[in-house]
Amino acid sequence: MTRKGTKLIFFFSILFLVMPVILLIVKSFSFSWKWGELFPTTWSLKGWQVLLTEPRLWQALQSSWWIGIAVVLLNLLIAIPAGKTVAFHSFKGKRFFELSFILPILIPSLAVAMGLHMTMIRLGLADHWLGIVVVHLLPSVPYTIKIFHSSFERIGPHLENQAASLGSNKWYSFYSIYFPLLVPSIRSAVFLVFVISLSQYALTALIGGGNVITIATLYFPFLSTAKEAVIASFSLIFAVLPLTVLLLFELLIRIFLPYRKRNR
C-alpha cells in the first residue's frame, strides 16, 4: 500500500465515521432545520434542556455505569479461563461446549425472554440490579469467549510450559506472560461488552422491572417521537459513557502492566 493510498483510506474512513457525530451535535442544538438548508436556521438549547432536567438522569447514568462495569468484570472472569481451556485442551464434548457458548447470541432475545424472566423470578433476582447484571452476561459472554479463545490460540501454550519448567508459579506466569499479550483483546472485550450492556433495553426493562432505571430505559421511549433534538442529545450522552470506561481502562493498564511492551 502506498503512502498516498493509505492517506486516502484514512481520509474517507474518518469522514464516514466522524460525519454522523458532527451531524448529531449540530442536530442537538438545532431548533428548526428544513429541507434545502445545509445548516439549521434557528438554534436552541431545548434538546439539552429536556435531557438535563430529567430528574433521574444522574441516577440512570450511575446505574448504567456500574452495571456495565460489573458486567465487564464478570465477563473477563468467566471468559478468560473458558477461552484458555477451549484453546489449549482437546477433550470429549468440546464441540458441544463451544456451540453452547455461542447459543445466546444466535437465538433472538425475544424468544428466551419469557423463560429468562421466570428463572430470574425463581432465583429471586428479578427486579434487582443483580438480575440485570446476570442477564446482560448472556448477550456479551459469547463475544468475550470468542475473543479470548482466538487470542490464546495465537499465543499458544508453549510460553506457559516454558515458564513452568523454569519453576514460576501459575498466577505469576499468567500475569507476566499472558496478561501483557492479552491486553489488545482485553481492550476490545471491555469496550464491546460495555457497549452491549449499555444498549440493552428490552431485557433491562423486563428483568429490572422499573426498580432500576438505566440510561437505556430512560432514552429508548424518546426514540418514538419526532422531536429530533432530544434524540440527538440523548444519543450523544449515551456515546460518552463507553469512552469514560475506555479511559479508565487505559489508565489502569498503565499502572498494572508488568512491563511496557511495544504493542502497549
254 binds other proteins per the rule CB under 8 A: no
89 binds other proteins per the rule CB under 8 A: yes
Q: Which of 188, 191, 190, 164 shows the shortest CA–CA distance to 177?
A: 164
244 binds other proteins per the rule CB under 8 A: no
**Whole-number Å distance between alpha carbons of 33 and 163:** 64
The residue (of 110 and 255) whose beta carbon lies closer to other proteins is: 110
- Among residues 11, 37, 169, 258, the one that binds other proteins under rule CB under 8 A: 37
> First CA to last CA across the chain, in angstroms?
25
**Whole-number Å distance between alpha carbons of 204 and 219:** 12
- Among residues 45, 52, 73, 103, the one that binds other proteins under rule CB under 8 A: 103
Q: At what angle do helices 57-88 and 94-106 cross, to 10 degrees?
A: 160
* Residues in 48-67 that interact with other proteins by CB under 8 A: 50, 54-55
**Nearest distance in Å: CB 46, other proteins:** 6
Report DSSP state, residue 77: H
**Whole-number Å distance between alpha carbons of 88 and 152:** 8
Residue with cell string 444519543 = 235
Q: Which of 220, 223, 219, 229 shows the shortest CA–CA distance to 47?
A: 229
251 binds other proteins per the rule CB under 8 A: no
**Nearest distance in Å: CB 167, other proteins:** 19
CA angle 84, 89, 95 (to 5 degrees): 95
**Nearest distance in Å: CB 242, other proteins:** 6
* Residues in 193-222 that interact with other proteins by CB under 8 A: 195, 199, 202, 205-206, 209-211, 213, 216-218, 220-222
130 binds other proteins per the rule CB under 8 A: no
- Among residues 3, 91, 167, 260, the one that binds other proteins under rule CB under 8 A: 91
245 binds other proteins per the rule CB under 8 A: no
**Whole-number Å distance between alpha carbons of 72 and 200:** 14
- Among residues 29, 44, 59, 177, the one that binds other proteins under rule CB under 8 A: 44
Number of residues that bind other proteins (CB under 8 A): 131
145 binds other proteins per the rule CB under 8 A: yes
User: Can you name the residues that pair with 42 across neighbouring β-strands?
Assistant: 32
**Whole-number Å distance between alpha carbons of 124 and 137:** 17
**Is 67 in contact with 197 (CB distance < 8 Å)?**
yes
The residue (of 164 and 243) whose beta carbon lies closer to other proteins is: 243
* Residues in 146-175 that interact with other proteins by CB under 8 A: 146-147, 150-151, 153-159
* Residues in 16-35 that interact with other proteins by CB under 8 A: 16-21, 23-24, 27, 30-32, 34-35
